[in-house]
């Protein structure tokens, strides 16, 4: 009796190989195309805060680029001017932000070359980004960002947000990343329709200070940008005064240390 472990090698004497017609031709394996999807963000920025005030819109963000949990890059600036009266601030994967900035640069160049007397406003740029991010999401290759778009067009402030799924909305107060949990309640409590530019800046600095205390992916180095009738103004990075003498910081809270 033939053992199950017996190996047969075709062709057997007097028989044809029954699988010969199905044999695939030998060919070299095609090289990788080099196109890869972002499976997980690598160098990331954290929260971006945005608020409307009487006469304009203000954005704030830190300058840290985190390589995983490592605070590696200390001068990654995430607030950018787009056109004459639009601001963009983004958290998430920094290389995807660079790609988006290149897209917007091409868009604004094309708009300039049209020379038809019309300029894309903040609402149009916000709508364009929502289509771009939604398109990439449908390809299962998202741009891993949360983007705030701020502007001041026709004497009206604009503030909107787009995320990696293509979800978009507008509001008077927006915070992305960890700021959506920590800073947004503080901003909602302090906001008022006649908020001045000075009050808005103080409010954002207070929120940034709290985020520095609580968010492990930020540093005490921030930028604040405003868009008003004067145009777009982006500050140089600066640090805030902090206080680490709180009792719970030193000895831990009564219910346990953190």
Annotated catalytic, 38? yes
Three-state DSSP class for 149? strand
- Residue tagged active-site, from 6, 23, 38, 109: 38
Q: Are 132 and 69 in contact (CB under 8 A)?
A: no
In this structure, what token pair is assigned to residue 18? 């029954």
Q: For residue 3, give Cα distances in angstroms to 6, 7, 12, 15, 54.
A: 5, 9, 17, 21, 89
> How far is Cα of residue 165 from the mean position of the Cα atoms in its chain?
11
Three-state DSSP class for 125? helix
Beta-bridged to residue 156, according to DSSP, are 153
**DSSP characters for 194-218?**
T--HHHHHHHHHHHHHHHHHH-TT-
Nearest to 42 by CA among 22, 62, 68: 68
Residues with active-site annotation = 38
């Amino acid at each position: 009796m033939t053992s199950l472990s017996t190996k047969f090698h075709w062709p057997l004497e007097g028989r044809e190989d029954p699988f010969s017609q199905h044999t695939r031709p030998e060919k070299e394996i095609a090289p990788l195309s080099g196109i890869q999807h972002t499976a997980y963000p690598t160098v990331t920025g954290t929260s971006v805060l945005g608020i409307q005030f009487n006469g304009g819109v203000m954005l704030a963000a830190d300058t840290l680029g985190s390589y995983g949990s490592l605070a590696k890059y200390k001068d990654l600036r995430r607030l950018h001017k787009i056109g004459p009266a639009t601001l963009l601030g983004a958290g998430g994967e920094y290389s995807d932000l660079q790609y988006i900035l290149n897209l917007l640069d091409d868009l604004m160049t094309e708009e300039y070359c049209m020379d038809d007397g019309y300029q894309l406003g903040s609402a149009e740029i916000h709508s364009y980004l929502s289509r771009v991010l939604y398109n990439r999401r449908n390809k299962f290759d998202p741009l891993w960002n949360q983007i705030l778009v701020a502007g001041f067009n026709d004497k009206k402030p604009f503030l909107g947000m787009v995320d990696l799924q293509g979800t978009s909305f507008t509001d008077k107060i927006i915070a992305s990343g960890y700021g959506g949990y920590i800073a947004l309640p503080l901003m909602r409590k302090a906001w008022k329709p006649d908020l001045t530019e000075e009050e808005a800046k103080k409010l954002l600095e207070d929120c940034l200070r709290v985020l520095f205390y609580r968010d492990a992916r930020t540093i005490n180095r921030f930028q604040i940008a405003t868009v008003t009738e004067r145009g777009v103004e982006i500050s140089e990075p600066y640090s805030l005064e902090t206080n680490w003498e709180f009792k719970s910081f030193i000895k831990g809270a009564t219910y346990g240390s953190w």
